[in-house]
Copies of this chain bind each other. A is one copy, B any other.
Amino acid sequence: MHLDDLDTPALLIDEPRMTRAIARMQSHIDALGVRLRPHVKTSKCVDVALRQRAAGGCGITVSTLKEAEEFFAAGFDDIVYAVGIAPQRLPQAFALMRRGCALQIVVDSLAAAERVAAAARHEALAPRVLIEVDVDGHRAGVPPESPLLLDIARTLHAAGALAGVMTHCGASYECRDQAALVAMAEQERSRCVRAAERLRAAGLPCEVVSVGSTPTAHAARSLPGVTEVRAGVYVFYDLVMAGIGVCAPEDIALSVLTTVIGHQPAKGWVLVDAGWMAMSRDRGTLSQPHDQGYGAVCDEAGALLPGWIVAQANQEHGIVEHRDGAAAAGDVVARFPIGMRLRVLPNHACATAAQHARYAVVEGDAVRHLWPRFGGW
C-alpha cells in the first residue's frame, strides 16, 4: 500500500521516527537504572505499546479504565491508572484485579482513601494504591510535607492497600530551556522521594516511587529513590515538545495527511481538508514563543515547509498561511495546486491522535501497517 492510496485526512506515524523516539527514551531511562512505564494514553494503540514493551518498557500507564481493559485484554497485566479514581468506578477496577490484572489505582484525598479502604474490606481484596503527590502546584496531589499524606497512607495501609507514591510534573511543560528542565526534573524527583521517606519514617510501606512527564524524563540526570518513570508523548513527540526543546520538529513521528481543496489567492490562503476535526482544537503552542497555529505544514514526504502553518481551523477546513502574511506567501495557487497533498505536524500528539480511529504507519511513501486506536471511557 502506498501513501496515494489513503483518503484524506489521515493520521500517519512515521515508523523510523517512532522507533528512534522509543529507543531514545528507553536507553536514557535504562541508563538511570529505573524502569520505564510508558503512558499509553497518547497512542491508545496496542501495536504501539507492543513496540514500547519490546524495547524494554515495564508495564504501562493508562488514563482511563477503558484503556486498562483494552490493554489487559491484549496481554498487558501491569498497569497504573494514573488519574484519581472516581468512587463509582471502584467495582470496575476491582473486577480487573480479580481477573488477574496487577492494576494500581491512585487517590489524593482522605475521602477517596476511605472509600477505597471500605470497598477493599467489603470485597476482601487488597488493591495496590498509590498516593498522588503534588510537586509543582500544577494539578492534583497532596504536598509532600502535608499531614494529610500520612493520614491517607495510614487509612490505606490499614486496609493492606498502600503501594507507594506517584506524581506527574505538569509544570515541566512551561519550561523554556534545558537548565529549567533539569531543575524541574530534580524538583519532581526530590519532592516525590521526600513523600516516600515520610511514609517510611512513619513505619509505613512505600514500595513504589513513580514520577514522570516526557520533559522531565528526558531531562533527569539521576533518579535516586525513584523506582519508575512514566512518560507518554515521547513516543510520537509534537510541536509543544519541540517548543520546549525536548525534540526537534524533524523528530515528530505523528502527522495528518491532507489535501488542498481551495485558495483565497489575495490573502495567501490555502484551504485544506484538515480542520479541527482532524487536528483537534489544541493550541498548545499559543503560549510558547513560536506559535504554530493548528500545526506546521510539511510536503507530502514529510519535509517541513518553513513558515507555513495551519493558521485557522473550522470543522473540516484548515486555512494554511505563511506566518509572514500574504506577501511572503506568493502565488499560492501555483505553489499549492488543488489536489496537492501535505502533511501537518500537530501541536499535541495526544489530542490530534484522539480525533482518529486508525494510524497509517509509513516509511517514506510506503504504508507498512494500518493500526487501530480506540477512544471512549
The proximity string for A residues 155-199 relative to B, scoring 1 for CB distances below 8 Å and 0 otherwise, is 000000000000000100000000000000000000000000000
A338 contacts partner chain B, Cβ-Cβ < 8 Å:
yes
| Contact A7-B89, Cβ < 8 Å, known A84-B271, A338-B112 | yes
Q: Kindly state the separation between the CA atoms of A139 and B219 in the bound complex, as whole angstroms.
A: 43
A357 contacts partner chain B, Cβ-Cβ < 8 Å:
yes
Main secondary structure of the interface of A (DSSP, over half): loop
B338 A261 Cβ-Cβ under 8 A: no
A218 contacts partner chain B, Cβ-Cβ < 8 Å:
no
Q: Which residues of B contact A264 (CB under 8 A)?
A: 134, 140
Select which of B41, B262, B357 is within 8 A of A315 by beta carbon. Answer: B41
A261 B86 Cβ-Cβ under 8 A: yes
Q: Which residues of B contact A111 (CB under 8 A)?
A: 333, 337-339
Q: Which residues of B contact A125 (CB under 8 A)?
A: none
Q: Which residues of B contact A277 (CB under 8 A)?
A: 63, 354
Nearest-CB distance from A233 to chain B (Å)?
10
Q: Kindly state the separation between the CA atoms of A241 and B155 in the bound complex, as whole angstroms.
A: 47
Nearest-CB distance from A56 to chain B (Å)?
25
Q: Which residues of B contact A87 (CB under 8 A)?
A: 338-339
Q: Which residues of B contact A351 (CB under 8 A)?
A: 276, 281, 315
Select which of B8, B86, B314, B338 is within 8 A of A109 by beta carbon. Answer: B338
| Contact A355-B354, Cβ < 8 Å, known A112-B338, A261-B83 | yes
Q: Which residues of B contact A8 (CB under 8 A)?
A: 86, 88, 377
B350 A376 Cβ-Cβ under 8 A: no
User: Number of contacting residues on A, CB 8 A?
Assistant: 58
Select which of B140, B261, B283 is within 8 A of A84 by beta carbon. Answer: B261
Closest B residue, CB atoms, query A41: B315
Select which of B140, B271, B354 is within 8 A of A140 by beta carbon. Answer: B271
Q: Which residues of B contact A282 (CB under 8 A)?
A: 276, 281
Between A316, A339, A348, the greatest number of chain B beta carbons within 10 A of the residue's beta carbon is seen for: A316
B281 A7 Cβ-Cβ under 8 A: no
Nearest-CB distance from A328 to chain B (Å)?
20
Closest B residue, CB atoms, query A132: B262
A357 B338 Cβ-Cβ under 8 A: no
26 pairs, CB–CB < 8 Å, chain A vs chain B:
A7-B377, A8-B86, A8-B88, A8-B377, A9-B377, A63-B316, A83-B261, A84-B261, A84-B271, A86-B261, A86-B273, A87-B338, A88-B259, A108-B262, A111-B337, A111-B339, A112-B262, A112-B338, A139-B314, A140-B264, A170-B314, A276-B282, A277-B354, A281-B282, A281-B283, A355-B375
- Please give 6 more A-B residue pairs, beta carbons under 8 A apart, in addition to A7-B92, A86-B339, A356-B376: A86-B273, A140-B262, A281-B283, A283-B283, A355-B375, A357-B376
A residues in contact (CB < 8 Å) with B = 7-10, 41, 63-64, 83-89, 92, 108-109, 111-112, 115, 134, 139-140, 170, 259-264, 271, 273, 276-278, 280-283, 314-317, 319, 333, 337-339, 348, 350-351, 354-357, 375-377
